[in-house]
Amino acid sequence: MISDNSVIVVGGGHNGLVCAAYLAKAGRKVTVLEAGEQVGGLAATREFAPGFRASCAHLLYLLDAEISRELGLQSHGLEMASDGLRTIALAEDGQNLVIGSDNLDGAGLGDEDRAAWREYRRFMSKFAAVIGGLHNQVPPRIRQERGDLVALGKLALKIRMLGRDDMREFLRIAGINIYDVLQENFENPLLKGALSLDAVLGANSGPRSNNSVFTALHRMSGTGGHGTGAVALPIGGLGSVAEALAAAARQAGAEIRTGAAVERILTDGDRVGGVRLAGGEELAAATVVSNADPKTTILDLLGARHVEAGFAQRIVNFRARGNAAKLHLALDGLPEFRGVSAEQAGDRMVIAPTMEYVERAFNHSKYGEYSAQPVAEIIIPTVRDPGLAPAGKHVLSAVVQYAPRNLKQGWPEGKTAFTEVVMGLLARYAPAIREQTLAAELLTPEDIEREFRSAGGHWHHGELSLDQFLMLRPVPKAAQYRMPVEGLFLCGAGTHPGGGVMGSAGRNAARAVLAN
């Protein structure tokens, strides 16, 4: 006889851990089963070369302040090496721009651009807050019931509360592309290039793609408390967030097992009954919450035959092909990027010289090719957190786009050549980088899929776009975390409000389980 109180969480990514912590706090008997040897999933800090550590997700800007406070993450050891990192928009000749939250610095900037930057920050922050206000809500259903209608009414009211002019502007730009919005507001090409990158990081889109304003707003929608879009660097990499969450979950009574890959979600009649691990061990539970992505959960772990054909087809159609690669370099010393001081080397650097450059970089991926001239978001975390490398050495961590999941020539053939392209790109800005490199690791979306068990290797477990957002995420009729099989829930980035190290999907899923 299965206890109604027992919950199995499949996967110890940060959302699985948040979900486990809230459920354990509410008195449920929770077991987290993580296939990897450590918790954290895409945000785990791992050794990529002897003595050098980095996390795949490398910057913290979305972590929900309420979750952080309620789970006492600080008391469980989470500490920032730095918050409020600036962005250095790199130029090949070293005439870089420094983009802070309130000010811009650099050669070639006019007063118009500085004023436009303040206004852009004002309206984008205001619009991002509308999206941020939805993070901790179970999305309403589109039906005639009172609770759902009230929730939909509240959303409409939030938009109306922007004020007449801003509401019009919000509705005008929300579905269009960042290229047009930046073109309307700014002159400086380097500034526009750098800002457009924020709209396409982790997405399968270029600056001219629809939805790119929405993804820019999502990136700015964090409620971390250091200002809209503020970027922080936790000591120990993003894995420290997961470690603190795991400590909170354990303190609340959850059991966390690593090296425990779930092979099958078991059914008992028309509801879930537990899971079977690789190796054959079976664990019974009345509720199974999956932190794995929607495709893996429904198609591989549960099996499509347990859901209606139409539902299975919607999951198949969920767009989830990653286009971001991750580079980790173990360096002999601090690399010198042209025009970047040693202190600035601890900030966030981006290679996106113009919007046209970013768009051209994206074009290749439409045809199954990697970018010949990629874009990159680069940090050297060891400037502010030296513990990630041996004394005097450094780590370079870079998101590099575009690298399509389904490379035409295949990644086994293409990876070495793409790594060479990326090293060549870096060398144009930091000429001695090759000589300083002791070891390099490039994770393609295919590697990310395999290593982190995320179908498609996508940043958000599935494209974050208006057609896969809120009550449409992951698919219509499954946006309240409950799957069509009784007792089965999702809690990962493939559900509302999407990816990024935020925790809201895990918390919302816990609420849905408790309300069931």
Residue 4 has what DSSP assignment?
A: T
Please list every residue from 465 through 494 that binds ligand FAD, using CB under 6 A.
Answer: 492-493
Among 7, 8, 28, 36, binds ligand FAD (CB under 6 A): 36
> Could you tell me if 372 and 341 are in contact, meaning their C-beta atoms sit under 8 angstroms apart?
no
Please list every residue from 173 through 202 that binds ligand FAD, using CB under 6 A.
Answer: 202
| Closer Cβ to ligand FAD, 188 or 221, answer by number | 221
Output the residue with the shortest Cβ distance to ligand FAD: 13
34 binds ligand FAD (CB under 6 A): yes
Number of residues that bind ligand FAD (CB under 6 A): 40
Task: For 11-143, list the strands marked E by DSSP.
Answer: 29-33, 45-49, 52-55, 80-83, 87-89, 97-99, 104-106
Please list every residue from 96 through 155 that binds ligand FAD, using CB under 6 A.
Answer: none
* End-to-end Cα distance, the chain: 20
Q: Which two tokens stand for residue 261?
A: 């890959």
299 binds ligand FAD (CB under 6 A): no
Residue 255: other Cβ atoms inside 10 A = 13
Residue 102: other Cβ atoms inside 10 A = 8
Cβ 153 to ligand FAD shortest distance, Å = 29
Q: Using the rule CB under 6 A, give the single segment among 21-29, 32-40, 180-188, 384-392 that binds ligand FAD.
A: 32-40
Q: Write the binding mask 206 to 245 for ligand FAD: x where contact by CB under 6 A, - elsewhere.
A: ----------------------------------------
Cβ 443 to ligand FAD shortest distance, Å = 7
Among 20, 42, 478, 513, binds ligand FAD (CB under 6 A): 42
Cβ 90 to ligand FAD shortest distance, Å = 18
Q: Using CA atoms of 425, 334, 348, 103 in order, give the dihedral in degrees to the nearest 10.
A: -110
| Closer Cβ to ligand FAD, 330 or 399, answer by number | 399
399 binds ligand FAD (CB under 6 A): yes
Gap between the Cα atoms of 236 and 60, Å rounded: 12
453 binds ligand FAD (CB under 6 A): yes
Gap between the Cα atoms of 491 and 261, Å rounded: 17
292 binds ligand FAD (CB under 6 A): yes
The dihedral built from the CA positions of residue 309, 297, 362 and 124, taken in this order, carries a sign that is positive
Distances (CA, A) of 397 to 8, 47, 226, 331, 346: 34, 13, 23, 11, 12
Q: Using the rule CB under 6 A, give the single segment among 53-61, 69-77, 93-101, 153-161 that binds ligand FAD.
A: 53-61
298 binds ligand FAD (CB under 6 A): no
> Could you tell me if 372 and 424 are in contact, meaning their C-beta atoms sit under 8 angstroms apart?
no
| Closer Cβ to ligand FAD, 203 or 213, answer by number | 203
Cβ 469 to ligand FAD shortest distance, Å = 14
Gap between the Cα atoms of 333 and 391, Å rounded: 10
Residue 140 CB partners (closer than 8 Å, separation 6+) = 147, 148, 149, 151, 152, 155, 471
Q: Residue numbers of the site for ligand FAD (CB under 6 A)?
A: 10-16, 33-36, 41-43, 56-59, 62, 202, 261-262, 291-292, 296, 301, 324, 326, 399, 448, 452-454, 459-460, 492-493, 499-501
